Amino acid sequence: MTTAAIWKSFEAQIATLEQEREAVRQVFKHLVSTPQATTLSPPIFTDTPSSNRQEWFDNSSKSHSPHKESLIASISLTSTPLFICQLVLDCQGDRSLLQRRLHDSEMSLLSQIKACRETQFLYTPNPEQQIQLNQLEKDEQIRLAEIAKDKEIELARITSEERIIMAKVDKDIKKIVKDERCRVAQLDKEKEIRRAEIFAYVRKIVKDERWDAGNFEKEKEIELARITKEERIELAKVEKDVEQIAKEKEIRLAEIIAEVRQIIKNERWDVGNFDKEKRVELAKIHKDVTKFQKDERWDIGNFCEGEGDQAGRAGQGGESALGRGGPRRQEAGEGEGDEDGRD
């Protein structure tokens, strides 16, 4: 590395340190100018890469505490380096500690700037070297200008070629799109024709089906009417046969009832005749018994007439006995008659 390059690197480092020192001064001035009760607002990052800011926010969110959150409230600067934000978080709400840390940081930055200037002084070029350095810078600028011009020419050429290629591609794309649209239109047309054919075929099938269905329904109605007529005729015959059978059954039932009544009447007549004959027979038997008793009493009376009082008393006792026996036989006869009547 040449002396001029080293000198330039120190110049860039000193500029960076000066920016950080200025940021520390602004934060310190902000702290001094705000009341103690005012909390600090989150700093605004304007010169810090977004990846570093996100990383700092991620790390700080993991270690947040009520003190840190109350401290980061009202800082609003044009540029705030990350080390200052981290310093604000480390102080955990202590303003005096933050002021001391900022003062120490400013002193450290001043020391670094001073050391860099002292070291840079060792690499300061002499007048001849400065003239040579200026010539080199001028040549470098001319060379960079030529390179930039060549780049612009090349870029213009590339751009022109790209435009030509893009125009050709656009033309090809348009042709492809046109061909594709024509092909799609042809396919749509063929599809519509095929769909119309299918619809016509389906309509024909439906029409034929409806015709067949109409004929079938008509034939079915005719057959149903014929069957209904035959069923009605058969039903009329059956009803007529049923009425005839019912009429015959009623006649037969009437005949049976008449026969039963005649049988009951005959039974009653036979029973009446049997009772009448039985009564006549009983009366005859009773008459015969009465006559026998009378004959018995007459014979006993004649037999006992000349035997005396004793024989007379005996005869009276026998008459009484015979008299009592007569009614018993009569009752017995009546009992037999009753049993015969019940039989």
- HSE-up of 205 (CA within 13 Å, CB side)? 6
Q: What is the pLDDT of residue 66?
A: 42
User: At 27, is the pLDDT very low, low, confident or very high (cuts 50, 70, 90)?
Assistant: confident
**Extended beta strands in 231-327, E state:** none
Q: What is the C-alpha R_g of the chain?
A: 78
DSSP bridge partners of 74: 41
Longest dimension (CA), the chain: 228
Who wins on pLDDT, 43 or 20? 20
How far are the Cα atoms of 27, 49, 58 from residue 68, in angstroms, in the given order? 16, 23, 14
Burial of 261 (0-12, 13-18, 19+ CB in 10 A): exposed
Identify the bridge partners of residue 99 per DSSP, sorted by sequence position.
Answer: none
Please name which of 331, 302, 336 lies closest in space to residue 318, comparing C-alpha atoms: 302
Distance CA 217, CA 335 (A): 91
- Mean pLDDT for the stretch of residues 154-170: 82
State residue 48's pLDDT score.
Answer: 41
Interacting residues of 46 by C-beta distance below 8 A, sequence separation 6+ = 78, 79, 80
Band of the pLDDT at 315, cuts 50, 70, 90? low
Q: State the pLDDT confidence band at 214, using cuts at 50, 70 and 90.
A: confident
- Residue 305's pLDDT band (cuts 50, 70, 90): low
Mean pLDDT score, 301-321: 55
* 248 compared with 319, residue with greater pLDDT: 248
Q: Which one is predicted more confidently, 317 or 24?
A: 24
Per-residue DSSP letters for 26-65?
Answer: HHHHHHHHS-TTPPPBPPPPSSS-HHHHHHHHHHHHHT--
Categorize the per-residue pLDDT at 51 as very low, low, confident or very high, splitting at 50, 70 and 90: very low
Span of 22-26, 237-241, 273-277 with lowest mean pLDDT: 273-277
Please say if the pLDDT value at position 158 is more than 50.
Answer: yes
CA-based nearest residue to 56, from 25, 26, 80: 80
How many angstroms separate the CA atoms of 53 and 42, rounded?
Answer: 12
Q: 127-303 and 308-342 are packed helices; what angle lies between their axes, rounded to 10 degrees?
A: 150
Distance CA 23, CA 80 (A): 6
Higher pLDDT pick, 190 / 313: 190
State residue 316's pLDDT score. 54
Q: Domain residue spans in the chain?
A: 3-124, 264-342
Per-residue pLDDT tens for 240-299?
888 888 888 889 888 888 888 888 888 777 777 777 777 788 888 878 778 877 777 776
Closest CA to 23 of 6, 53, 40, 47: 47
Predicted pLDDT of residue 307: 58
pLDDT at 36: 56
The answer to whether the beta carbons of residues 68 and 100 sit under 8 Å apart is no
pLDDT value for 314: 52
Q: Tokens 């039963």, residue?
A: 260
Given a cut of 80, whether residue 46 has pLDDT beyond it is no
With cut-offs at 50, 70 and 90, classify the pLDDT of residue 38.
very low
Nearest to 84 by CA among 56, 118, 120, 119: 56
Give the pLDDT confidence score for residue 282 in this predicted structure. 80
Counting every residue, how long is the chain? 343
With contact defined as beta carbons under 8 Å apart, do 102 and 76 qualify? no
Average pLDDT for 165-172: 86
Residue 126 scores a pLDDT above 80: no
How far does Cα 239 stand from its chain's mean position? 59
Q: How far apart are CA 55 and CA 86, in angstroms?
A: 12
> pTM of the entire structure?
0.31
Helix (H, G, I), strand (E, B) or coil at 126: coil
The more confidently predicted of residues 123 and 22 is 22
Q: How many CB atoms lie within 10 A of CB 95?
A: 15
Q: Is 19 exposed, middle or buried (0-12, 13-18, 19+ CB in 10 A)?
A: middle
Task: Provide the token pair at 242.
Answer: 């049923």
